[in-house]
Amino acid sequence: MKRVSQYSKPQIYSLLTLRLFIGWYFLYEGLAKVFTPNWSAYGYLIDSKGIFAPFFVQLTENPAVLSVVNFINIWGLTLVGLSLILGLFNKTGYIGAILFLLMFYLSHPPLLYAKYILPTEGSYLWIDKNLIMLAAVVVLMLFPTSRIIGFDSLLIRKKKS
């Protein structure tokens, strides 16, 4: 308790806001896929560029592998979103978020000459919003808030009791 109470109120609320926003982003990304019949990562993966592209394209070649990838995307994104919003199992949630963002970044790196079929809404060189969000998640992980505001606080209490 001592450690967390070192935050000032503005610090806590700005960290919480960041956590909720990122959680919201993940949750809706997941839900949108849950509600899209036959959603598949196929189109996104096949459009991969950069040195890791062969790996991502390979995922599309085997239907069984692709269905696993789809499942992980749909439910993984949803669970990460819930974790961040609820402040529940936040450490796992953050690690999941980092892994997802890393995969997104590596499959679609904003390289000098890479041209993607899906247009981006901005202009990027080497650093894109996925990477920025990844850095933000790392910050959230190092400055945890779920034990102050979130269900993790209840878990802690239960554990202690």
Binding residues for other proteins (CB under 8 A): 1, 16, 20, 23-24, 27-28, 31, 35, 37-38, 42-43, 46-47, 57, 63, 85-87, 117-119, 148-151, 153-154, 157, 160-161
Q: Scanning the structure block, which residue is given the tokens 């809404």? A: 121
In angstroms, the Cα distances linking 105 to 21, 37, 38, 82 are: 19, 26, 24, 22
In the complex with other proteins, the residue whose CB is nearer, 67 or 135, is: 67
Does residue 125 sit in helix, strand or coil? strand
In the complex with other proteins, the residue whose CB is nearer, 126 or 159, is: 159
3-state helix, strand, coil in the chain (%, to 5): 70, 0, 30
In the complex with other proteins, the residue whose CB is nearer, 36 or 132, is: 36
Q: Scanning the structure block, which residue is given the tokens 């890479």? A: 114
* Least distance from other proteins to the Cβ atom of residue 108, Å: 14
* Least distance from other proteins to the Cβ atom of residue 21, Å: 10
